Amino acid sequence: MGKWPQITPPKARKSPVLHHRHGQSFTDNYHWLRDNNWPEVVRNPKTLSTEIREHLLTENNYTEKMLAGTTILVQQLVDEMKGRMTDKLQQVPARDGNWFYNSKYLSGSEHPQFVRYPALNDQKADLNNEQILLDCNSRSKESEFYQLGEFTHSPDHSKIAWSEDVKGSEFFEIFTCDLATSEISSTGICTASDDLVWLSDSSSLLWIWRDENSRPKQVRLHILGTDPATDQVLYTEDDNGFFLGLDQTSDHKYALINCNDHQTSEIWTIDLAPTKTKPNCLWPRRIAIEASADHLDGKFTLLTNDDDAKDFQVIRISASDPCRDKQETLVPHNPGILILGQQQFSKFHVRIERENALPRIIIRQEENGTEQHLKFDDAAYALGLEGGFEFDTDILRFAISSPSRPQEIYDYNMRSHSRKILQQQQIPSGHNTDDYEVKRIYAPANDGQMIPVTLLSRRDAQPDTAKPVLLYGYGAYGYSIPASFSSNRLSLVDRGFVFAIAHIRGGKEKGFSWYEKGRREHKKNSFTDFINVAEHLIDQGITQQGKIIAQGGSAGGLLMGAVANLRPDLFAGFIAQVPFVDVLNTMSDETLPLTPPEWPEWGNPVASFSDYQTIANYCPITNVSDLDYPPILATAGLCDTRVTWWEPAKWIAALRDKAPKGGPYLLKTEMSAGHGGASGRYAGLQEIAEAQAFSLHVVKEQPNSTQL
């Protein structure tokens, strides 16, 4: 292990608060790190209490000194990562009527610029007549943080609207611009979610109002030029356990109000004609039944797990009489083949399926029901639909990449079955896919299940030598980690590391049951799966004990904390980014914005003694003990409303107090950022480089100058 400076770490004062649940008690020694004024703090960080601010800054200073020996390496890594990024980056234009819309990054810019081009008679974009619609770089100059939410043009192409967050708190402000005059107008809406939908006459917008606890609660209709205080409330969500989202159907006829927690869906529709804005319930909520909708010719196409379709099915119901008794099955349930998503076209229905952790595209012709499959030969890869504005088209746009192969974007003609490559991700400093090897292996779990593992390594790495591994995991919310390309990973891989993704239970890589067996009372499977993957990599001679760095963020940070408590000896270090580690306290605090919606995922320790026991048995902070933990690097964001800053701060304090012989334990808090860290195309590279430098340091892997 690399040497660490002999510096005394910060010591957080203890001020015990005793909590009582179901006749049980547990102590929170660092409750004071939770500012009672936290809802204001995430919107205005200057209001943070002096004591907490000083503690976080002291932690930042300690981390900076402890990592001072990696400063040169961090800069090398940042420079390498920048060298792999195209200085000027332009996406592929997408047609909508008489215009092609696009976004691009100018040389050295952190944020995108949105543009459009007139459509020529040959169906191509007139690239010589570019119109700049919005320059987010100019918008970002007045604030330390800038995040664009949604950008959307009006149906008549005369206006644009967008949402932006300048604090990292995810409270968005909404702006519009008249493209004829280039006049930007503030709507006065400043407590919104990022979602926006235009009405068909281009005079009004649908948006979502967030309450003081950052919960999305109401769908409102804003008429441009009017006082938002007079906006009509179209829908109110009374259940604090449900999120609200806005979308629209592919034919642009309906807005979709999506109400959901982590296991239940409800869908309301709004006709986008300006005289028909009354919401109608398309799909009432029923516990553990999920659905998403699209529309075609008076019928809604629904992707749902209703009728015991655990891996989902596709059905159709009438828009005028949405009765399930009259539903038509379009794609029946096929156990073990998970339907991930759908896109409706006027003549085709497209879906993405996943089987055994590998995705594929299925295209169904509406007129005769015949299907065609798009499959790919990579050992592991990521696949996604690129959407688009046009409904009546034969063209499907998709993107594909693998851990070794940069992303490629294709237009696929669904009628002629021909494909055309539109763009391939360029690596200016050079990249040869053949220099790297991608493998998909399977690690046995404790109960005999086989856990998919994606591996990326250099082909010219020394054979039969145990290599250092960065093992990444998440395992929550049914989210599956894609086997996609990231040029940033190459800096570690070029230095001899193997980059590995453990596709553990809690995701949906192997179907919905893979998710079910990694949540609530089965949550421990996520932790033991990750440990089993690490053990398998050792057993196979790929690495050895003490050469594995474990990394995860948010719910993946919970994974890091739990695994550290279970098997600290197995790992050289842990990187926990905005880690959800104070699970028992957070899931017991109904005032936090995400607590009620999270109960279906983790359990409700307030109402259920069983849930309380389950969470208490794995909660990272609750289970810190006097073990020889390896070095741990944790990050936090002061404006983060998802995982609040005090969670990693309390965890690091508990580790130093209860396990002083381990570590060191490092905490870095971004004082003007939220859950996603620093904003901007280049700004986020610093955090990635610091994590990689930490990894290299703790396994004593120094950079090889011939590989820089």
pLDDT band at 132; cut points 50, 70, 90: very high
pLDDT for position 533: 98
Percent of the chain whose pLDDT exceeds 90? 85
pLDDT for position 274: 85
Least confident of 272-281, 415-424, 455-464: 455-464
Look at residue 107 and tell me whether its pLDDT is greater than 70. Answer: yes
DSSP strand pairing (299-304 vs 291-296): antiparallel
Nearest Cα to 439, choosing from 373, 382, 483? 483
Identify the residue whose tokens are 């995430």. 42
What stretch of H or E contains 685? Answer: helix 685-698
CB atoms within 10 A of CB 334: 14
How far is C-alpha 691 from the geometric centre of its chain's CA atoms? 19
pLDDT for position 672: 79
pLDDT for position 675: 67
Contact 422, 412 (CB under 8 A): no
Identify the residue whose tokens are 């205005």. 44
Burial class of residue 69 in the structure, from the number of CB atoms within 10 Å of its CB (0-12 exposed, 13-18 middle, 19+ buried): middle
Q: What is the pLDDT of residues 346-374, one digit of tens each?
A: 999 999 999 988 999 999 999 999 999 99
Nearest Cα to 350, choosing from 359, 358, 320? 359
Identify the residue whose tokens are 């890594």. 77
pLDDT for position 699: 92
Contact 649, 10 (CB under 8 A): no
Q: Average pLDDT, stretch 45-63?
A: 96
Q: Collect all residues with Cβ–Cβ distance below 8 Å to 245 and sequence separation of at least 6.
A: 193, 195, 208, 216, 257, 258, 260
Q: What is the pLDDT of residues 565-581, one digit of tens each?
A: 999 999 999 999 999 99
pLDDT for position 703: 41
CB atoms within 10 A of CB 444: 14
Look at residue 704 and tell me whether its pLDDT is greater than 70. Answer: no
pLDDT for position 701: 45
Look at residue 341 and tell me whether its pLDDT is greater than 90. Answer: yes
What's the DSSP call for residue 376? -
pLDDT for position 677: 63
CATH for the stretch 17-83+432-702? 3.40.50.1820
Kindly compute the dihedral angle of the four CA atoms of residues 303, 308, 311, 313, in this order, to the nearest 10 degrees: -30
Look at residue 206 and tell me whether its pLDDT is greater than 70. Answer: yes
b/e 480-499 (16+ beta carbons within 10 angstroms → b)? bbbbbbebbbbbbbbbbbbb
Q: Average pLDDT, stretch 126-152?
A: 93
pLDDT band at 702; cut points 50, 70, 90: very low
pLDDT band at 644; cut points 50, 70, 90: very high
Q: Which residue has the higher pLDDT, 465 or 28?
A: 28
b/e 416-435 (16+ beta carbons within 10 angstroms → b)? eeeeeeeeebebeeebeeee
pLDDT band at 706; cut points 50, 70, 90: very low
The angle formed by the CA atoms of residues 660, 665 and 670, to the nearest 5 degrees, is 150
Look at residue 654 and tell me whether its pLDDT is greater than 70. Answer: yes
The angle formed by the CA atoms of residues 204, 209 and 213, to the nearest 5 degrees, is 170
pLDDT for position 321: 82
Q: Average pLDDT, stretch 431-448?
A: 96
DSSP string, 59-73: HHHHHHHHTGGGHHH
E strand intervals along 154-215: 159-165, 173-178, 183-186, 192-198, 204-210
Q: Which active-site residues does the annotation give?
A: 554, 640, 675
CA separation for the pair 672, 219 (Å, rounded): 29
pLDDT band at 121; cut points 50, 70, 90: confident
Identify the residue whose tokens are 């741990």. 632
Q: What are phi and psi of 610, to 5 degrees?
A: -60, -45
Q: What is the pLDDT of residues 248-265, one digit of tens each?
A: 999 999 999 999 998 999
Burial class of residue 31 in the structure, from the number of CB atoms within 10 Å of its CB (0-12 exposed, 13-18 middle, 19+ buried): middle
Identify the residue whose tokens are 């004591």. 51
Average pLDDT, the chain: 93
pLDDT for position 2: 65
Q: What are phi and psi of 53, to 5 degrees?
A: -60, -45
Look at residue 411 and tell me whether its pLDDT is greater than 70. Answer: yes
Nearest Cα to 427, choosing from 513, 486, 499, 346? 486
pLDDT band at 170; cut points 50, 70, 90: confident
Domain ranges of the chain: 17-83+432-702
pLDDT band at 708; cut points 50, 70, 90: very low
Query: What is the three-class DSSP state of 228?
Result: helix
Q: What is the pLDDT of residues 305-338, one digit of tens each?
A: 999 999 999 999 999 887 777 799 999 999 999 9
What number of CA atoms fall less than 13 Å from residue 512's CA on the CB side? 20
CB atoms within 10 A of CB 3: 8
User: What tokens appear for 599 in the block?
Assistant: 């109960």
pLDDT for position 476: 97
Q: Average pLDDT, stretch 509-518?
A: 95
Look at residue 233 and tell me whether its pLDDT is greater than 80. Answer: yes
Percent of the chain whose pLDDT exceeds 70? 97
pLDDT band at 113; cut points 50, 70, 90: very high
pLDDT band at 678; cut points 50, 70, 90: low
| Conformation bin of residue 312: beta by default, left when phi > 0, alpha when psi is -120 to 50 | left
Structural Rg of the chain based on CA atoms: 25
What stretch of H or E contains 52? Answer: helix 50-66
